[in-house]
Amino acid sequence: MKVQVIFTNFLIFFVSFLGLFSQVALGAPAPVELEKRDVYDPPVLYPHNGTVWYSGQRHNVTWYVETPHLNVTNHYGQIMLRKGNLTTPLILASEFDLFDGRVEVTVPWVLPADDYRVVVFGDSGNWSPTFTIIGNSMFTW
């Protein structure tokens, strides 16, 4: 009987130690070598302050294109609409080459306001200055 108690105590100690060791060993971060990347974040040239777009129109969103760096990891872009402090889920353009410097978009049917921006995404996101969109929204009667 005494041997069984000693064995049980040893087994509990061993399992506890194994669990603790596993937590420490598996929780330790493995060394990771970081890959050097260039961030390509061209400033948006159009639309700019004072620009007025009308819903349904087509416009070219343009940005400054400099000589691309060798380590740019993603040169395909996406443009989204931002209103005030929130980026909306409206995708105006996607899968275009950032090195083209422009892409044509159709102005969406949104509430008229003067605090819209376009956000050009690639390696990072760049906002245009605020501009105005005028037109009837599908939410107005």
Q: For the chain, what are the domain ranges? A: 44-134
Q: What CATH topology corresponds to 44-134?
A: Immunoglobulin-like (2.60.40)
Task: Indicate the pTM of the whole model.
Answer: 0.68
**What CA–CA distance (Å, rounded) separates 92 from 99?**
18
Percent pLDDT > 90 in the chain is: 47
**What CA–CA distance (Å, rounded) separates 81 from 90?**
6
User: For the segment 60-83, what is each residue's pLDDT rounded down to a tens digit?
Assistant: 999 988 765 556 777 788 999 999
Nearest CA among 79, 58, 76, 60 for reference residue 68: 76
**What is the layout of strands, in order, in the sheet containing 44-46?**
44-46, 58-63, 102-106
User: For the segment 84-119, what is each residue's pLDDT rounded down to a tens digit?
Assistant: 999 999 999 999 998 899 999 999 999 999 999 999
